[in-house]
């Protein structure tokens, strides 16, 4: 994955497949600690210990369409290459929390990338789920909740093209105001 | 900044446009968003679809997403279903091809044969 925001999309798609109705994404840059932390929390079906133990192994997957699962192993490798780490907490029926920590100033840290496009793709492509985003850095903070937008839309879909355009700009401006990173 | 106040105006626009077309969702477009799809550029494909639909003022299309379909080598995958017709699957759809699908298939009703895949 070229961007951290693509990893976020990928992990959130796992949550959707796990039947999550709520996916919370947090991105926090801490210059003092020199860390960039990404957390994706879901209320999906969770994983039993034997699957959880193998989440970083590319040859462990719950899929039946193919025999490899590359999402989390790739993310773990990207974190570790920057002196960071990947932590996955999960239990059956209790949802899953994926916490990816990167070395903020490390030369191998992938750019955050188009986070606004990731959140828009998730919100517009999954009307029935609640997607929340929280971004924090010393520059400021930004919060987004797809349920707030849905309430204001009163029945008009999020993927309706003028709404999707509003979403993109709203997210782009909000994220840019809260995060001054590549 | 685009605020929730702006959103109310956008909502009115969307409703007006939907009324013109009697509120029927004529087309469903699905983008596959598995790890394979995302790595191949599915997010950019989805953005291009949403942006092109908005540019053309088309409101009777639902854009949604799905997981890996097991055709990883054909990602990004896009499916287009026009009401009353069979679903057409397109493979290796980048942003430019996505815009062509909007213009030729969704607007004009001609399947873009060059990108169709069969299973």
Looking at the complex, does the CB of residue A62 fall below 8 Å from at least one CB of chain B? no
Coil, strand, or helix at residue B119?
Answer: coil
The pTM score is 0.91
Across the interface, do B11 and A6 touch by the CB < 8 Å criterion? no
Cα atoms found within 13 Å of the Cα of residue B68, Cβ hemisphere only: 24
Paired tokens of A63:
């899929």
Residue of higher predicted confidence among B75 and A55: B75
Classify residue A79 by burial, with Cβ atoms within 10 Å: 0-12, 13-18, 19+.
buried
Of B28, B29, B36, B39, residue with least CA distance to B98: B29
Distance CA A150, CA A157 (A): 8
Across the interface, do B13 and A162 touch by the CB < 8 Å criterion? yes
Q: How many Cβ atoms sit within 10 Å of the Cβ of residue A94?
A: 13
**Model pLDDT for residues B29-84, shown as the tens digit of each residue:** 999 999 999 999 999 999 999 999 999 988 888 899 998 888 889 999 999 999 88
Average pLDDT over residues A106-110: 95
- Is pLDDT above 80 for A100? yes
Nearest residue on chain A to B54, judged by CA atoms? A161
To probe the interface with A, which of B35, B55, B65, B74 has the most A CB atoms within 10 Å?
Answer: B35
Distance CA A133, CA A142 (A): 8
Distance from CA of B115 to the nearest CA of A (A): 23
To probe the interface with A, which of B10, B68, B69 has the most A CB atoms within 10 Å?
Answer: B10
Look at the alpha carbons of A81, A98, A48, A16 in this order and tell me if their dihedral is positive or negative. Answer: negative
Residue of higher predicted confidence among B25 and A79: A79
Distance CA A44, CA A62 (A): 14
**Model pLDDT for residues A1-27, shown as the tens digit of each residue:** 889 999 999 999 999 999 999 999 999
Distance from CA of A33 to the nearest CA of B (A): 30
Coil, strand, or helix at residue A54?
Answer: coil
Classify residue B20 by burial, with Cβ atoms within 10 Å: 0-12, 13-18, 19+.
exposed
Distance CA A77, CA A60 (A): 16
- What is the reported pLDDT for B21? 58
- What is the reported pLDDT for B20? 59
């Amino acid at each position: 994955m070229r961007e951290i925001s693509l990893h976020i999309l990928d992990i959130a798609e796992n949550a959707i497949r796990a039947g999550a109705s709520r996916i919370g994404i947090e991105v926090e840059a801490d210059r003092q600690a020199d860390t960039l932390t990404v957390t994706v929390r879901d209320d999906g079906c969770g994983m039993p210990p034997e699957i959880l133990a193998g989440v970083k192994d590319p040859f462990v997957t719950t899929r039946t369409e193919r025999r490899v699962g590359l999402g989390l192993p790739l993310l773990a490798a990207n974190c570790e290459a920057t002196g960071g780490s990947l932590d996955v907490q999960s239990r059956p029926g209790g949802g899953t929390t994926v916490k990816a920590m990167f070395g903020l100033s490390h030369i191998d840290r992938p750019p955050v990338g188009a986070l606004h496009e990731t959140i828009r793709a998730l919100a517009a492509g999954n009307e029935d789920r609640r997607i929340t985003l929280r971004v924090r850095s010393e520059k400021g903070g930004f919060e987004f909740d797809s349920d707030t937008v849905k309430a204001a839309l009163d029945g008009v879909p999020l993927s309706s093209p003028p709404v999707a355009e509003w979403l993109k700009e709203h997210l782009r401006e909000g994220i840019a105001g809260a995060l001054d990173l590549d | 900044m685009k605020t929730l106040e702006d959103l109310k105006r956008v909502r009115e626009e969307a409703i007006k446009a939907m009324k013109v077309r009697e509120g029927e969702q004529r087309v469903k477009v699905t983008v596959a968003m598995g790890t394979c799809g995302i790595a191949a550029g599915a997010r950019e494909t989805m953005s291009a679809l949403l942006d092109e639909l908005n540019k053309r003022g088309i409101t009777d299309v639902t854009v949604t997403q799905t997981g890996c379909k097991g055709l990883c080598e054909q990602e990004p995958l896009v499916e287009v279903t026009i009401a009353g017709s069979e679903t057409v699957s397109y493979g290796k759809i980048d942003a430019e091809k996505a815009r062509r699908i909007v213009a030729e298939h969704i607007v004009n009703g001609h399947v873009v044969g060059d990108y169709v895949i069969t299973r």
